[in-house]
Every structure is written in structure tokens, then in C-alpha cells.
Amino acid sequence: MTRPTTRPTAASAALFERARAVTPGGVNSPVRAFNAVGGTPRFIRSAAGAWLTDVDGNEYVDLICSWGPMLLGHAHPEVQARVAEAVARGTSYGAPTEPEVELAEEIAARAPVERVRFVSSGTEATMSAIRLARGFTGRDVVVKFAGCYHGHVDSLLASAGSGLATFAVPGTPGVPTSSTELTVVLPYNDRAAVEKVFAEHPGRIACLITEAAPGNMGVVPPEPGFNEFLAATCRANGALFVSDEVMTGFRASRFGQWGLDGALEGWRPDLVTFGKVMGGGFPAAAFGGRADVMSRLAPEGPVYQAGTLSGNPIATTAGLTTLRLATDEVYAHIGAAAETIRTAAADALTAAGVAHVVQSTGTMFSVFLTDVAAVRDFDDASTTSAPAYAAFFHEMLERGVYLPPSAYEAWFLSAAHDDRAVSTVLDALPHAARAAASA
């Protein structure tokens, strides 16, 4: 689908054509291809602070921040400097290093984990956490929620089976039934469904994994006490509670989503997965948790897990520098900018007569173009109008704001989103709302 634009896109279009000849769909992660919104995906040449510059020279306020990692903004001078120093010392040794120890200590100081193991992607983190949960409990069944994304792990690319407590079916070709037949998929925020599945599979559930606050169906906050209920239900049934904080970790708040509910409600997950912010824009992720559970991992215990680039010194240096700079002031700034933008988005949509719901958790938020009163689960999120969002997205892009090219995503800000960046967004919103109204 082509869309009219007054901005130059010839260089992006030419690269996209070359890319499609050598890469499936022209991209290395599907959402980048703009399939959901149409038009030419912008190939990015550089980024600084809150701004992206594409290969045609267009500038955009970045509201995806690499899908979360760039908490401090792009090309932060201190992160750049520490990374440059690290690069000068060599880029990978396959032997332990000091930055890994320091980053693990920093994570353990901010999140409810006693031990941390580094990996290279969020997918690896959740895949490994599930293997460890199964190895620790000696059980096989995994429970997840529809609309929660945990990376492209075979057993988690699953869709709900025919009944509530029945086993899942593959969510994509290429995943064999044998990979999802030990997965149960439930509606999010549904306590009765959780109770039912534990009642129907006594002694078989190794773990329940959930996004600490889902961001991958748009932001759907856990209802008050929901995570606490999940933790308690798992504990009562001898299963592990795996909290996926790949997106929310060090992003929703300084202490992640756990800082917004667990720390206050007084519960702890058994395992937590991390990624994005803790890698400072490099391929790094982690999983961690209770010492007795983590000690089952090789080489201390029998559950195998490994990685050539795990704990890479450049990635851990970037992550460590980012976390050390991610002070209370950074979160307060991002929270205030997020509040300004989500209020303005709601006002603009109301003025244009577009049905919408704006939801947030900490500094993360989403704008759903739907007439449901609140989005509690994936079925609610699925009521979002795709054509209205596509029109909204393109009007924002035209006016210099790069939103997620999909209606089911969080909008991400950074410490570098200053008055100029925020006012560019505010100026664009009424036009985008009117475009959505006439879609």
C-alpha cells in the first residue's frame, strides 16, 4: 500500500527494494516493514537524543526508542564514551569480565533477584527461564496469557486451545504441536481462569509466565493485586512465577513493574526476565531469580544453558552505564513527558470524535482506538481499529513523529524528550486525530 507523503522517501524506498531482494520482507524483525500501516518503511541513518534521521534526511521525534531500550535517548555522550573505551579493549573474549559482575550487581540491587545470568536477547531469556523452571520443578506444563509476547520461543508462540484449561495449538507454521501441547493460554486479568487451570492440572504446572505488565498488546496494566494473586497461586501449587520484565524492567519505573506493584504488595517473583534497557541499545538480556532456583543452572547445577556472546563486555558496559545514569530524575522526567503526551492524545481524539482508551503503567502508555471502556485483555485489544490507527500513524509521521507502526504497542519516551520534542508531538496530535476520524 502506498500512501501520499510530502516528505522525500526515495532513498528509503530504494533501500527497501534492495533489502527485499536479500532479506525476507526487507526487514530483520517483521513490524519494521510497516505491514500494519502501509507505506514505505523509513531506513534510519542516525539518531541523537529524541530524534531519528532517515536516509532521505527527514527528522522524526522517536516514540519507539528502539522498542524500549533507549531510556536515556540516542547517542548519549557518556554511554558512547564508555562503549568506545570498551571497544578499544577488544570486543569479546569468551571469558568472564568485570562489567558482567557490576551489571549483575546493579540488577540485583534494583530488581527482586538474587542471581543473574546474561544472554543476548529477550527470547533467550524467557526460553532459558522456562527450561530452568521445568528443570527445577521436574514438571512440564507452562501457563501463559493471550496477548503477552515473550519472544519467539516455540512453546510460547501458542494460541489458546478449544477450552479454558486445554492445551494450546501452534501460533505459527513451523512450531510443531509437540512444542505447544504442554502450554496453556489464558485470558489476561482473569483470576477464575488461572484458578481453573491449576485445579485441572494438579502437580503438572512448572511455571506461569506473564509480562509483568503487558505492553505487547498495547499497555494493559494488571488489575490491582493481579500479579500478587499470580505469585500466591503459583506458590500454593508448587509452580514458579516467572515475571517477564524484558519491556517493563528499568522502564516502567526505576524498579520496573515490580517497583509499581510487587514492592508495595510485598511479593516476589521466583524468576524474572530482563532485556531492552539493561542492554543500553546492545543485544543483551538476562534472567534471574531465587538463589536456590538459579543454582540449578550449569555449571552449578544440571540444567544446561550457555552463550558465546553472553555477558559481552560492550553490551554489559552500555547497560551498566545506562542503568547508573537512570536516576529518579530520569524517571520523573519521562513520567511527566508521558503524562503530557497521553493527555494531549486523549484530548485531541475526543475533540475529533474518535473513540479511544489511553492506558498506562508507570512511564509506559498506549493509545487504543476502540470504543470499549477499558482494555483488560487481548480480546479487548483486538477491537482496535486498524484503518484509524494507520491514518493516525501516517499523519504523525508526516508531521515528524515516529510512532510504533502497529496499533498494539506501547509508546516509549526517553530522558532526551525535551520541550522541543514534546511540542512537536503535541502540534501533530490534533491533525492525526482528525485523520483517524476520517479513516
For 105, other C-beta atoms within 10 Å of its C-beta total 12
- Strand order, beta sheet including 285-289: 115-119, 285-289, 271-274, 240-244, 205-211, 141-145, 183-186
Among 37, 130, 285, 407, binds ligand PMP (CB under 6 A): 285
Taking the complex as a whole, the smallest distance from the CB of residue 431 to ligand PMP amounts, in Å, to: 29
Q: Is 149 in the site for ligand PMP (CB under 6 A)?
A: yes
Contact characters 67-106, ligand PMP, x per CB under 6 A = x---------------------------------------
Q: Give the whole-angstrom CA distance, residue 108 versus residue 90.
A: 27
CB of residue 4 vs ligand PMP: minimum separation in angstroms?
Answer: 31
Question: Rounded CA gap, 338 and 331, in Å?
Answer: 10
CB contact at 8 A, 142 and 130? yes
C-alpha cell at 382: 483486538
The residue among 100 and 244 lying less far from ligand PMP, judged by its C-beta, is: 244
Site membership for ligand PMP, residue 312 (CB under 6 A): no
**246: contact with ligand PMP by CB under 6 A:** yes
Q: Mark 183-198 as b/e (b = at least 16 C-beta within 10 Å).
A: bbbbbbbbeebbebbb
CA-closest candidate to residue 318, choices 119, 90, 122, 100: 100
Q: How many residues belong to the site for ligand PMP (CB under 6 A)?
A: 15
404 contributes a contact to ligand PMP by CB under 6 A: no
Pick between residue 35 and residue 121 the one whose CB is nearest to ligand PMP.
121
Query: Which sequence positions are flagged as catalytic?
Result: 149, 244, 276
> Which range binds ligand PMP by CB under 6 A, 174-182, 197-205, 239-247, 308-316?
239-247
> Per rule CB under 6 A, is residue 277 in the interface with ligand PMP?
no
Half-sphere exposure of 73 (CA within 13 A, CB side): 17
- Binding residue (CB under 6 A) for ligand PMP from 26, 49, 151, 187: 151
Which one-letter DSSP state was computed for residue 158? E
CA atoms within 13 A on the CB side of 81: 3
Of the pair 237, 406, the CB lying nearest ligand PMP is at: 406
Region of 36-44, 92-100, 105-113, 120-128 interacting with ligand PMP (CB under 6 A): 120-128
Residues 8-67 that bind ligand PMP (CB under 6 A): 67
Closest C-alpha among 213, 154, 202 to residue 178: 154
Binding-site ranges for ligand PMP (CB under 6 A): 67, 121-123, 126, 149-151, 211, 216, 244, 246-247, 275, 285
